[in-house]
Structure 1
Amino acid sequence: MKILVIGPSWIGDMMMSQSLYRTLKSRNPHTVIDVIAPSWCHPLLLRMPEVNESLLLPLEHGVMKLSARWRLGQILRSKHYDRAFVLPGSFKSALIPFFAKIPRRIGWRGEMRYGLLNDMRVLNATAFPLMVQRYIALCYHKSRMNSSRDLPQPLCMPTLNVEDYEKQITLDAFKIHSQRPIIGFCPGAEYSSFKKWPHYHYAQLAESLIRKGYQILLFGSTKDRITGERIFLHLSQEIKQYYYNLSGNTDLTQAVVLLSCCHTVISNDSGLMHIAAALDRPLIALYGPSNPKFTPPLSKKSRIISLESSCFPRKKGRIHEEYHPSLIRITPERVMMEFKLLHHTLGV
């Protein structure tokens, strides 16, 4: 069986999609899985042994470019795929496997994709509350999948491995030599600033952790550089040497390796949070207006803090504030308490 997957465009969703690939392989080890996705997802796909080939989607996110999708479909026809799984819910994401004339094209209904998908599933969101459940359910005939209770247990969870030699090379490259255990901070969020825990809370937590003998590595894109600098300015002068603002200075491959070196990761709801979970790192996930019941970190070593309530609707923030009220209410003291409880539970 040869399968093409139209992969998600976001880092967190791409990590969760590995559960689909692992499930397909568990059902038939000889299945060949190719995934087409934007370039920024490829460092993750290269670490997934289930993926035979990661194919480049040479289109900007959100653009139609019908002729480009048709040409790509014509190129993919020569690969003779038996099935296609279309994971995004958009109309345009279903075009490439249709143009490639892949015999069976599977996906959730999404944006009215009648004809483009010939094995289309109608989603009952209550029956499949988690995104990862929705991905895995596509592996099975739709007559067998009425709810998450029909999924095989345990579910195949995302898993990333990093070799010891990679860790040492990358630590040396960034001149991180201290014997202090590393705490990873992931203060960014791709979709909205309202998913970010306040920088001043991160700074207070960093101060406490450094004084307890840890060092801090801050991860993120160039957009998170200013947040990292604001945290740095709040720290006492004598402890600033144990704080590394790496945002914008690492590529995704380096970030994955350095996250694997972390004693613990403290993160907003973000793609890096899902990577830390797949790396099996102890993780504290901070949720505001996003829903931890839909895309939680898929790890038994994680703790979720969410103070969302009817007073602060999930999809609306106070636009005159920099941070969402529900995240402001999560205090550094609460995160430190969860930090201690997590490691007491894990025995580390």
Structure 2
Amino acid sequence: MPNWLGDMIMATPILNDLRKNFPKAKITAFCKKPLSDLIKNDKNIDEVFSFEKPLLKTRHYKKKILKKLKEKKYDLGILLTNSFSSAYLFFKGKVKNILGYDTNFRKFFLDYRIKFYNRKNTHLVDTYKRLLLPLKINLSDSKPKIYLDEKEMEKRALLFKKENKIVGICPFSNYGKSKCWPLERFEKVAEKLLDDKNISVIFLGEKKDKKNLKIFEKNRVFNLIGKTDIQNLAYIISICDVVLTNDSGPMHLAASLDIPLVALFGSTDEIVTGPYLKNGIIKKKTACSPCFKRKCFKDFLCMKKIEIDEVLNEVKKKIYVQKIY
């Protein structure tokens, strides 16, 4: 499975399509930690093989993968990553038929080579699905989905006043600042939402994103930035009535859980990496967008053009219209 949260979620339709077409097959998903925690309840797979992938001293995790591959003697291996090393590991692990993208000088390890499809105007979910064409599996309408334990969802709901409407706010993104709407604008939207006494707000993010915002001092505001692991993040998002977010992993997580979204796009392309088969996107046309750069060296118009009241109104619409995108 892919190594980034958003990419991994966008690859989950592959699991559904494989199970649908090969109902008796034994399917193992190789996935790095902690992303593997999100697919352990996936009904389409028989086993999740999870591994740590350190930045240095990678020999140990590669040995672990090789051992698993050789023990299981897989008939087919589908590579959703583009790296040379992943193809080499499947080859050394004696996977009988290896299917993957013909990139990064790895074609000699592949039995079925797929040219990396021109992603312009093509969603990444569909790019992944094209990997199954050699198996005579046509592009399906299956969408990304994460399966959670309902009892665990109920436990999280009890932590909050669920009689209130809950707005999850994810104001960060791993790729860079150019994907992020100004933080003070997220804060302003939250302040205005709190004028409605029936609304609570949860701020979500990683440890590296920790901030001290004045709004955290207000009632009905929960600051969970840096306080959830990836599995708990999924459960918290699952009890939200709407999620306000940049283009990010949590955005795809919310979409995979069918949570209404207001997703803000600037430097990236919503056609390629937006919520799959859904709207809820706010994006302003500018001459330089999408640029796909981590940092804006111009005037950041693509994000600054998105107004606070426009976002506020979209969030309010989603709050009171359940499951409508």
Report the TM-score, using the length of structure 2 for normalisation. Answer: 0.89
1-structure distance, mates of 2:26, 2:169: 36
Partner residue, 2:86 = 93
Shift of residue 313, structure 1, vs aligned partner: 5.2
- Whether 2:138 is the aligned partner of 1:157: answer no
Distance 1:224 1:320, change over 3 A: farther
Q: Which amino acid aligns with 2:154?
A: Q
Task: Please say if residues 277 and 299 of structure 1, whose CA atoms lie closer than 8 Å, have aligned partners that are also in contact.
Answer: no
2-structure distance, mates of 1:32, 1:101: 17
Secondary structure of the equivalent of 1:216?
A: strand
Secondary structure of the equivalent of 1:197?
A: coil
Secondary structure of the equivalent of 2:244?
A: strand
Secondary structure of the equivalent of 1:185?
A: strand
Partner residue, 1:4 = none
Partner residue, 2:5 = 11
Distance 1:299 1:245, change over 3 A: farther
* Count of aligned pairs between the two proteins: 322
- Whether 2:175 is the aligned partner of 1:197: answer no
Matches within 5 A, 1:302-341: 302-312=279-289, 314-316=291-293, 317-319=295-297, 324-341=300-317
Q: Which amino acid aligns with 1:276?
A: A
Partner residue, 1:180 = 164
Distance 1:330 1:114, change over 3 A: same
2-structure distance, mates of 1:276, 1:126: 23
1-structure distance, mates of 2:250, 2:285: 22
Secondary structure of the equivalent of 2:74?
A: coil
Matches within 5 A, 1:97-108: 97-108=90-101
**Unaligned ranges ≥5, structure 1:** 1-6
Task: Please say if residues 178 and 296 of structure 2, whose CA atoms lie closer than 8 Å, have aligned partners that are also in contact.
Answer: no
Q: Which amino acid aligns with 2:312?
A: M
Shift of residue 67, structure 1, vs aligned partner: 7.6
Matches within 5 A, 1:138-287: 138-141=131-134, 151-152=139-140, 155-172=141-158, 175-177=159-161, 179-212=163-196, 213-226=198-211, 229-230=212-213, 233=214, 240-287=218-265
Deviations 1:282-337 (A, max 9, x none): 1111111011111111254x41111242145513443498xx43112211211123
Report the TM-score, using the length of structure 1 for normalisation. Answer: 0.84
- Whether 2:76 is the aligned partner of 1:83: answer yes
Task: Please say if residues 33 and 50 of structure 2, whose CA atoms lie closer than 8 Å, have aligned partners that are also in contact.
Answer: yes
Shift of residue 10, structure 1, vs aligned partner: 0.5
Shift of residue 254, structure 1, vs aligned partner: 1.3
1-structure distance, mates of 2:183, 2:64: 46
Distance 1:128 1:65, change over 3 A: farther
| Aligned with 2:271 (options 293, 309, 313) | 293
Task: Please say if residues 69 and 95 of structure 1, whose CA atoms lie closer than 8 Å, have aligned partners that are also in contact.
Answer: no
Q: Which amino acid aligns with 2:39?
A: L
1-structure distance, mates of 2:33, 2:147: 20
**Unaligned ranges ≥5, structure 2:** none
> How many percent identity over aligned positions?
25
Matches within 5 A, 1:14-33: 14-33=8-27
Distance 1:103 1:59, change over 3 A: same
Deviations 1:18-67 (A, max 9, x none): 10000001112112221112111111111321122221233225x68468
Distance 1:196 1:251, change over 3 A: same
